[in-house]
Amino acid sequence: GHSWRDAMSRLWIMVLVLLWIPVMAIAQLPGNAQCPVNCSCFFSQWFVRCSNASLSSLPPGIPNATVELDLQHNQFSTLSAGFFPELAEISIIYLGSSGIHQVEPGAFQGEVPHDQRLLKHRTFDIGLTWLGVCVSLSLSGGFSSLKQLSVLDLSNNLLLELSDQALHGLPRLRRLYLSANRITNVSSKALPGSLRALSLDENQLTSVPAAIRTSPMLSTLQLSGNPIRKLTSLSFGRRLRSLRQLFLDGLALEQITNLAFTRLRWLELLSLRNNSLESLPPLSSLKSLSTLYLTGNKWRCDCNLIWLRTWQKKVLRKERSPVECSSPEVLQGQLLCKDQHSSSLPISLLHPLSHSL
């Protein structure tokens, strides 16, 4: 009896010790790992939430162990050089809906040294762009503060452009969300080459930014809701060999030239919904394409679209989108491919002159 009780006692002691170790580990966190004022911290400071806190600057004391930082719905206005301190473990930052209208070079490169701050205040009349370049150059290689950052959300802000070096210092950035800003220009060197997914939808771009060509590993590109009226062979360049998903909805697109998508050979999904397209060039070079969204356009169902009906039959078992004819008048409202099991074409496509005689 005694041996059994002794064994149970030892077992309970072991359990208590095992439970006590993590408690002590948390209790012994260094002072700078305490949760910042107006923020909530979870999972031993791995996740820090400072959203809806009316912040105009980053609160001091963000724990060094922070992996995910939520700063949505604040009032930052400008992300100045050195806005973020050195956070070696940070992987995800949310900055959506925070009234941000400018991201200065060096914002993600660590804290600006004191002498650089003085320089900034003394030379404000020289211009932020010149100064930003100087600060960025002076910090180049000196900080790798956010080298683990893989997701950055700057959506629903007031950004007008993305300048060169604005995102410098983010070598592992994989996903960048810039949706619903007022961006009219993305500088040619603004985007990190490591990007896998880029959201630029609901901005004011009038053409596809040439900057995307510096991100050859880009897999998903969202450009919906920009006033882009025409796509040409120059729109996507030759380097986007990894692109799998391309969203071009609601662009007011009127024309796509024959070679616009030629280099996107691994594209699997193409969405062209709610544009002003009347015709679409053959997509024979897109060997991997299995999903094509085309609703909400002004399709002219003539001989130029026969290829599309043939293609739709080929990808019958995969996802497809109905194509409703807007013209000629005799076919208005009809589907280009009425019956998926039928091999016959609409009579006006077989005999395009039959209704004009």
**Whether pLDDT at 21 is above 90:** no
Topology of domain 40-350, CATH: 3.80.10
- Assigned token pair, 91: 């992987």
pLDDT score, position 334: 66
pLDDT score, position 184: 97
- Among 131, 129, 176, 132, which Cα is nearest to 151's? 176
Summary count for the chain: helices (H), strands (E): 5, 19
Q: Which of 46-50, 53-57, 126-130, 285-289 has the lowest mean pLDDT?
A: 126-130
Average pLDDT over residues 78-107: 90
Average pLDDT over residues 221-229: 98
- 176-210 residue pLDDT tens: 999 999 999 999 999 999 999 999 999 999 999 99
Average pLDDT over residues 298-326: 75
**Identity at 299, one-letter amino acid code:** W
- Among 66, 87, 92, 93, which Cα is nearest to 145's? 87
**Cα angle: 171, vertex 56, 191; to 5 degrees:** 25
pLDDT band at 356 (very low <50, low <70, confident <90, very high): very low
Average pLDDT over all residues of the chain:
78
Element (H, E) at 161: strand 161-162
What phi-psi label fits residue 44: left (phi over 0), alpha (psi between -120 and 50 degrees) or beta? left
pLDDT band at 137 (very low <50, low <70, confident <90, very high): very low
pLDDT score, position 111: 57
CA distance 25 to 44: 10
Percent of the chain scoring above 70 in pLDDT: 71
**Whether pLDDT at 14 is above 80:** no
Q: Which of 26-40, 156-170, 198-212, 261-275 has the lowest mean pLDDT?
A: 26-40
- 57-77 residue pLDDT tens: 999 999 989 999 999 999 999
The ranges assigned to domains in the chain are: 40-350
pLDDT band at 320 (very low <50, low <70, confident <90, very high): low
CA distance 351 to 347: 6
Average pLDDT over residues 337-345: 45
pLDDT score, position 18: 52
